[in-house]
Structure 1
Amino acid sequence: MGIRTGSKAVELMVEAGDFAGVRVSQGEGSYEVRAKKVVFACGGFAQNEDMVGELAGGVAGECIPFCSADSTGGAFALTESLGGVSVGKGAFTYWRDLFGLGALGRRERRPLPFPRLLLRWRWRALAFELH
């Protein structure tokens, strides 16, 4: 099978109550990948303003996302549709430069010894099991 890039999981397949694979779109076509288990390597949710507002302390609309336009949280919705349970609040990276300007474009009060500093870091994971 190998690694396939530029593909989008559009549906998780379930047969007789068991996970059976993933339906995938790529370009103008689609195909099925049959498997008992799937690992999602996906881009997060920084381009989804609603999720950022819910999970990153209400800074949606003020942040400048430095990520792919495809980072919309689609994998979270896809797995939650099968009973996936979100654990934690996600990973939100906040930075500011040497001049004290943060990602929100406002000057911070405390000086920093480094050009970028992670101020908030929280994990978000999905866990589910089909019964």
Structure 2
Amino acid sequence: MNILFAWELGANFGHLARQLPVARELTARGHQVTFVVRDTKLAAEFLTPNGYRFIQAPLMLTKPRLRMPTASYSEILLAEGFHESAALAGRVQAWLNLFEITQPAPFSSTTPPLRCSRRALPDCPR
């Protein structure tokens, strides 16, 4: 079974550090684990030495500038381009394509704004 770990928002090693022990246990139980990551440089440093493959997460290339630090999760989503419907639709389609290509079983997500969109993925658990 291919299990997908997704990291779309946030920075640094925090998301990967939390997901790696679970990935190790799943691998030990015979599952294939794939990471979809925001930062491929950090993933190469952190995941490659541990033997895990990774794919670039769909990202917004141009983003509005907001005050730093952001004051709420809504501001984080705004900073990530969630205010542009055409760009957001492209990212949702990219996630759907990624799911079709990787054929994952259940997946883990620490910040699921696009991966668990009820409109995009009606079978995604709440």
TM-score (norm 1): 0.23
Of the two, which has the highest radius of gyration?
Answer: 1
TM-score (norm 2): 0.23
Larger helix proportion, structure 1 or 2?
A: 2
Highest RCO, 1 vs 2 (Cα 8 Å, sep ≥ 6): 2
